[in-house]
Amino acid sequence: MWRGDAQGRYETYLVPRRKSQTVLDVVTFVQRYLDPTLSYRFACRVGMCGSCAMTVNGRPRWTCRTHVDKVAPAGRLTIGPLANLPVIKDLAADMRLFFEKWQQARGAFVPSRTRDDAIERISPDSKARTLADAAIECINCGVCYAACDTVRWNEAYLGPAALNRAWSLVNDQRDAANPARLQAVAASGGCHACHSHQSCQELCPQALNPTASIAGLKRLTMRAYLKGEL
């Protein structure tokens, strides 16, 4: 298990095996019974909050939904903080840059109506609504960001989660910020930096497909560019 900051090292701990034990159970056992100074993050324990993501045997995963039997049948686990982010301490990565990029991609909803206007009806069957829905269940766990090679090579790259969020809003007919959003995602470090490796789609625990969302942004921004809107 990783201990310390970026200059830290792996320490070995012996943890008893239990039935249906998760990787988060292992980390919690170490913190409760072997070393109370171990730092890590979790909240819901049921795959809803996205705070427990770590690197487990080389792959980013939600530790609360990863069973030890599935990833380490021989019983050996290597657990570290999420990759592509600075380490605060031990298993806690600093998520600030991840959320700053989400803001840079204009990931916040900007209403086109006020509270005094009638509520806009969006048909559940409309194409835009279907596209927005397909990308909306992201819980910002950072797994895709840690899995993305482009993030590793290009510090300015907004990353799969922020771009996936932008795609969801681009298709939200109630949102009023699309010209600025398209500018933001078309800029250097935006959607055109993605090499479509699909590691994000392969590893997203929510089974989302950021690669497809980014491809959608590439098409839209290209169309806007050809029309002289960018």
Residues found near ligand FES in the complex (CB under 6 A): 42-45, 47-52, 62, 64
Q: Which is nearer to ligand SF4, 203 or 224 (CB)?
A: 203
Shortest distance, CB of residue 129 to ligand SF4, whole angstroms? 19
> Is residue 81 part of the contact set for ligand SF4 (CB under 6 A)?
no
The answer to whether the beta carbons of residues 186 and 225 sit under 8 Å apart is yes
> Is residue 196 part of the contact set for ligand SF4 (CB under 6 A)?
yes
The distance of Cα 32 from the centroid of its chain, to the nearest Å, equals: 28
Shortest distance, CB of residue 173 to ligand SF4, whole angstroms? 22
DSSP characters over the chain: -EESSTT-EE--------TT-BHHHHHHHIIIII-TT-----S-SSSSS-TTEEEETTEEEESTT-BHHHH-TTS---EEPPTTS-EEETTEE--HHHHHHHHHTT-S--BSS-TTSPPPP--TTSHHHHHHHHHTT-----HHHHH-HHHHH-TT---HHHHHHHHHHHT-TTB--HHHHHHHHHSTTSGGG-----HHHHH-TT---HHHHHHHHHHHHHHHHHTT--
Name which position in 139, 169, 182, 220 contacts ligand SF4 (CB under 6 A): 139
Shortest distance, CB of residue 66 to ligand FES, whole angstroms? 9
Task: Return the structure tokens found at 87.
Answer: 């380490």
Q: How many residues bind to ligand SF4 according to rule CB under 6 A?
A: 26
Shortest distance, CB of residue 146 to ligand FES, whole angstroms? 14
Pairing relationship of beta strands 2-3 and 79-80 according to DSSP bridges: unpaired
129 makes contact, choosing from ligand SF4, ligand FES, none, with CB < 5 to 8 Å by partner type, with none
Q: Which is nearer to ligand SF4, 125 or 155 (CB)?
A: 155
Shortest distance, CB of residue 185 to ligand SF4, whole angstroms? 12
164 makes contact, choosing from ligand SF4, ligand FES, none, with CB < 5 to 8 Å by partner type, with ligand SF4
67 makes contact, choosing from ligand SF4, ligand FES, none, with CB < 5 to 8 Å by partner type, with none
Q: Which is nearer to ligand SF4, 120 or 137 (CB)?
A: 137
The residues of the shown chain that bind ligand SF4, judged by CB under 6 A, are 138-144, 147-148, 150, 160-161, 164, 194-200, 204, 206, 208, 210-211, 214
